[in-house]
Structure 1
Amino acid sequence: MGRKSTFGPEQQATNTSSKIVAALERLSEVFRVLLWDNAKQHGISPIQIQVLTFLLHYPEEQRTITFLAAHFNMTKATISDAVKSLEAKNYLIRKVTATDTRSHTLHLIKAGKALAKKVECFAYPLQNTLSLTCSKEQSALLEHLLQLIFKLNREGIITPQRMCLNCHFYTQKGGHYCNLVPCKLKAADLRVDCPEFQFPQ
C-alpha cells in the first residue's frame, strides 16, 4: 500500500507532519491571493510584482535575469518573459555591464520605481498579523522555517538561499555563530537574505 495523501483529512488527523504541510499550503495560498489581488489592480502579473520589488531593493550586481531566476526558483525563460513585459511597459531598462558586453543589469526607471513602491505592500496583511505574535514566538518560528528551507536546499528541491545557515561564515558553536562579525547569533538575528552572504568554499 502506498503512502497516504498528506491532504486527506484522516491522515492529517493523526500525522503532525501532514498537518504542517497542509498549514504551509494554506500560507502559500495567502501569498498567491495577495499577489494576484495586487497584480490585478495594476495590470501586471504576480511574477512582475516580485521582479519590481526585487529591483527596488537589491544592488546592481544582483539585478540580472540569472540571479532573479535563482532567487525566485524559476527558469530564466520565465523571468525573461516577465522582464520583457515590464520593459515594454516602460518600467525598466537594461544596461550592458562594463565587464561583459554579453550580459546586462536591470534598472527601474521613474515609473517603475513608483509602481514598485505601490505593489510591494502586498505582504503587509500577513506581516501585520505576524506582528501580533510575541517576539519569542516569532524568533522560534523564524528558526524553524530557516531549518526547513535549509533541508529543502540540501535535498535539491529549491535552489540554495542566501541565508545564514547556508553561509560560509556560519557555524554552530553552542548555537548560531557568525565568523564574519564575529559573534553568537540569537534566533531573531538570523537572516533570510544577507548582503554579506558567501557560499561555502
Structure 2
Amino acid sequence: MSEGVYGEQASGRVTHTLLRLSTAMRSQAWEWAEGAGLTPTQGEILVLLMQRKGPMRLGEIARETALTAATTSDAVSTLETKGLVEKRRALDDGRALAVRLTARGRTAAKRATAWPDFLSKAVGTLREDEQAVFYRTLLKTIHQLEAQNTIPPHRMCLSCIHFEPSKNPKRTPHRCTLLAQNMSDTNLRLDCSVYETADLATQKKSWKIFAQ
C-alpha cells in the first residue's frame, strides 16, 4: 500500500510509518506467542498482571487492555486452564472475582516481556538525544489518544499528583515528590506503581509545561 493513501502531508507519512511498525510488532508478537502456546492477548494479560504485582478484576483487565469483557473472560479462562492464572474472591468484595498469576504464570509473564526485544534493539541504535525526542513525542501522542478516548488512560507521571514538571528538564529536571527523584524526559514513566491521579486542572498545567 502506497504512502499516498494516507496523504502527502507529514502526518500521513508518520501514520504510514507507524502502521508499518505495527505490522512488524504484530508479526513478532504472534511468532513469540505461538512458540509459547499462547496468543498475543493472553501474553499481554500475563504481563499486565506481573506489572500490577497483585490481583486484578476482570473489568480492570479489560479496561487496561482495551478488550471487550467477553474477550477478556475467554482469555483469562484459557490462562486458568493452562495453570497460568487463578481466580479468587476479591479481598474488598467477596462477590467479585480477582485474577492473579500462579508461579508458572509469573515465569511465562517474564518470558512474554522479551518478545519486543527486536524493537528495543532498533531504538537502541538511535543517539541518546534522538531517543529522548522520540519518547517525548510518543508520550504526547499517547496523551492525545487518551483525550480522544481511543485508548485507556495510563498511570503516567504527567497526569500524577506527585509530578512536578520542568519547563527546561535539561537544566532543571522534572521531580517526583513522592519518590524524591529528579527525572529527565526519558525517566518519565508510562505505568507507575505509585501513581495517583491528579485533578484535571493540575494535569492540564503539567501537560502545558511539558509541551512547551
TM-score (norm 2): 0.81
Cα shift readout 1:49-84 (whole Å, capped 9, x = no counterpart): 1111222332215x3222222222222222111101
| 1:60/1:105 contact within 8 Å kept | no
Which residue of the other structure, out of 5, 25, 31, is the alignment partner of 1:37? 31
Q: Which letter maps to 1:144?
A: T
Task: Name the structure 1 match of 2:206.
Answer: none
Are 1:55 and 2:77 matched, yes or no?
no
| 2:32/2:115 contact within 8 Å kept | yes
SS of 2:76's equivalent in the other structure is helix
Q: Which letter maps to 2:28?
A: L
Task: Name the structure 1 match of 2:192.
Answer: 194
State the alpha-carbon separation in 1 of the partners of residues 27 and 152 from structure 2.
24
Per-residue deviation at 1:178?
A: 4.1
Task: Name the structure 1 match of 2:133.
Answer: 140
Task: Name the structure 1 match of 2:20.
Answer: 26
Indicate the RMSD between aligned Cα atoms, in angstroms. Answer: 2.2
Q: Which letter maps to 2:52?
A: Y
The size of the alignment, in residue pairs, is 194
Consecutive unaligned residues of structure 2, counting only runs of 5 or more, are 169-173, 200-212
Cα shift readout 1:90-125 (whole Å, capped 9, x = no counterpart): 211112122210223222223222322333211111
Are 1:103 and 2:96 matched, yes or no?
yes
| 2:163/2:177 contact within 8 Å kept | yes
The 5-angstrom pairing of residues 81-96 of structure 1 reads: 81-96=74-89
| 1:36/1:45 contact within 8 Å kept | yes
Moved more, 126-135 or 137-146: 126-135
State the alpha-carbon separation in 2 of the partners of residues 183 and 27 from structure 1.
33
TM-score (norm 1): 0.85
The 5-angstrom pairing of residues 105-144 of structure 1 reads: 105-144=98-137
Structure 1 residues 20 and 93 mapped into 2: Cα distance closer, same or farther (>3 Å)?
A: same
| 2:45/2:65 contact within 8 Å kept | no
Q: Which letter maps to 1:83?
A: V
SS of 1:174's equivalent in the other structure is coil
Are 1:155 and 2:148 matched, yes or no?
yes
Are 1:185 and 2:183 matched, yes or no?
yes
Consecutive unaligned residues of structure 1, counting only runs of 5 or more, are 1-6
| 1:139/1:188 contact within 8 Å kept | yes
Q: Which letter maps to 1:174?
A: K
SS of 1:121's equivalent in the other structure is coil
State the alpha-carbon separation in 1 of the partners of residues 176 and 113 from structure 2.
30
Q: Which letter maps to 2:37?
A: G
Q: Which letter maps to 1:69?
A: A
Cα shift readout 1:9-33 (whole Å, capped 9, x = no counterpart): 3365731000111111111112211
